[in-house]
Amino acid sequence: MAWTRWIDNETDSLNQSIQKFLSDNEELNKNSTVRYENLKKTKVYSSDQLFSFNGQSINYNVVTFSLNSVVGDNITQVKGTIIIYSIAERIHYIINRNSDAKKFLRLLLNYKVNNAILEHNPNFNNDIFLWCVKRVFERKNIFTLNTSTKPDKKLVINSILGMKGQTSDLNKLTATGSSVLNLVSTLALLLESHLIEQTKIRLEYTNHNNLEIGLNNKGVIDIDFRSYIGQHNDNNEVEKTAKIVLLAYLEVIPALIDQLEKDQRLNKWNHLEKSTFLTNIEKEIGERINKMKKTFLEEQGKLNI
C-alpha cells in the first residue's frame, strides 16, 4: 500500500485540523467534470493517541473516508486513511493515496487557497537504492544506531526484494524475488544505476523482525503490512497500520538516510566506491556464470558415457 506525506500551512492545531476534516465539505462538487457522492468520514480515536520514538512523543489521530467519484455514467469508489500528527508545531498528513492525495486532502479540508497543503515526502534518489544493494551484497548490512534511548537500536537491511527502473533505451526492467542479485535484469539496472526508479527492501528494526518497504524516487513509500512481524502484530488493524506507518516515516526511513549520509561523509560511498562495487558485481556474476558452464559441461559428459 502506497503512502505520501504532506504539511498543512493553514493550521498548527491537531484538534482544529481534525474538525476541518469532519466538517461539511462545501468544495466537494464545485468541479463540474467530476461529482462526488455518498461521502463518509470517521474519526477513529475519540481522543488523540501517543506515539513514542527516539526519546520523544507525538500526538496523532486517524481519519478514514470513502466516497463515490462519478464521471458521466462511471462510478468509482474511493477510500482513504489519513494519519494526522503534530510535530515541531506543524501538522502532517500521511495518506494512502498518491497522485490524487493533494486533491482529496484539499477537498476534505475545504481549502481554497494555493499552497495550503505542501508535499513533504522523504528525499530518495537512485543513490540510496544502489547503496542498499551494495550493503546487502557485501554483507555490511547491520547498523547500530546511537539514539537517546538505551540500549542502542539496531537496523538491518536483510535483503533486496526487488528493483524497477528504465534503461537508457527506455525499456522497463523489473527484478523481483529473494535471489534478485542473481538476475540479469538486476545487473542491467545496476550498470545504469542512475535510472533506478524504485526498490523494495526487507528490514529488521529492534522489536520489528520483518518490515518490507518499497521506496521510489518520488518519495512515495509502499508498506507491505501482511508480511510485517513485530510488536504491533497484536494491535487492531487500524492501530497496527497507523503505528507501522509512523514507525516507517519517523524512525526507519530517517535512520536509513542517516546511515547513507554517514557513509558519504566518511568517503565510504562516493564515485570510487560505486565503481569498485560494480567491478565486484561484474566479477561475482562472471564467477557464477563460469561455475554454471562447468556444471553443464560435466552433466553433458555424464550423458555421453
**Residue 173: pLDDT above 50?**
no
Classify residue 250 by its DSSP letter. Answer: I
Q: For residues 125 and 196, what is the distance between their CA atoms, to the nearest angstrom?
A: 8
Q: Rounded to a whole number, what is the distance in angstroms from the first to the last CA of the chain?
A: 55
Answer whether residue 176 is part of any domain: yes
Query: Is residue 63 located within the same domain as residue 19?
Result: yes
Query: Is residue 109 located within the same domain as residue 143?
Result: no
Q: Summarize pLDDT for 250-263 with one digit per residue, the tens.
A: 999 999 999 999 99
Query: Is residue 111 located within the same domain as residue 211?
Result: no
pLDDT of amino acid 256: 96
**Residue 146: pLDDT above 80?**
no
Query: Is residue 112 located within the same domain as residue 134?
Result: no
Query: Is residue 264 located within the same domain as residue 151?
Result: yes
Omega prior to 122 cis, within 30 of 0: no
Give the model's confidence band at 72: pLDDT under 50 very low, under 70 low, under 90 confident, else very high: confident
Query: Is residue 274 located within the same domain as residue 133?
Result: yes
Q: Summarize pLDDT for 199-235 with one digit per residue, the tens.
A: 899 999 999 999 999 999 999 999 999 999 999 999 9
DSSP string, 44-78: S-SS-EEEEETTEEEEEEEEEEEEEEEETTEEEEE
Q: For residues 18 and 45, what is the distance between their CA atoms, to the nearest angstrom?
A: 11
Q: At 216, is the secondary structure helix, strand, or coil? A: strand
Cell of 199: 526498490
**Residue 184: pLDDT above 60?**
no
Q: Domain count for the chain, please give it.
A: 2
Q: What is the largest CA-CA distance in the chain?
A: 84
Q: At 88, is the secondary structure helix, strand, or coil? A: coil
295 — alpha (psi -120 to 50), left (phi > 0) or beta? alpha
Query: Is residue 131 located within the same domain as residue 81?
Result: no
Answer whether residue 288 is part of any domain: no
pLDDT of amino acid 193: 61
Query: Is residue 86 located within the same domain as residue 134?
Result: no
Answer whether residue 293 is part of any domain: no
In the listed set 63, 93, 119, which residue is the last one of a domain according to the structure? 119
Which are the contacts of 92, defined by CB distance < 8 A and separation ≥ 6?
A: 5, 6, 7, 8, 84, 85, 86, 120
**Residue 15: pLDDT above 80?**
yes
Task: Show the CA angle centred on residue 76, arms to residues 118 and 42, nearest 5°.
Answer: 60
In the listed set 84, 119, 154, which residue is the last one of a domain according to the structure? 119
Least confident interval from 73-82, 183-192, 219-228: 183-192
Range of the domain at 69: 2-119
pLDDT of amino acid 150: 65
- The percent of residues above 70 in pLDDT, for the chain, comes to 86
pTM of the complete model: 0.88
C-alpha torsion angle, residues 14, 16, 20, 23 (rounded to 10):
120
Q: How far is CA 97 from the centre of its chain?
A: 13
Least confident interval from 46-55, 180-189, 240-249, 259-268: 180-189
Task: Tell me which of 22 and 181 has the higher pLDDT.
Answer: 22
Strands 153-166 and 117-119: unpaired
Query: Is residue 15 located within the same domain as residue 83?
Result: yes
Answer whether residue 157 is part of any domain: yes
Strands 172-176 and 74-87: unpaired
pLDDT of amino acid 169: 47
Answer whether residue 304 is part of any domain: no
In the listed set 119, 134, 159, which residue is the last one of a domain according to the structure? 119
Q: Dihedrals φ, ψ of 211, to 5°?
A: -140, 115
Give the model's confidence band at 106: pLDDT under 50 very low, under 70 low, under 90 confident, else very high: very high
Answer whether residue 87 is part of any domain: yes
Q: How many CA atoms lie within 13 A of 115 on its CB side?
A: 0
CB atoms closer than 10 angstroms to residue 203? 22
Query: Is residue 103 located within the same domain as residue 235?
Result: no
Answer whether residue 275 is part of any domain: yes
Query: Is residue 156 located within the same domain as residue 250?
Result: yes
pLDDT of amino acid 203: 96
Query: Is residue 31 located within the same domain as residue 173?
Result: no
Q: For residues 111 and 137, what is the distance between their CA atoms, to the nearest angstrom?
A: 48
Answer whether residue 111 is part of any domain: yes
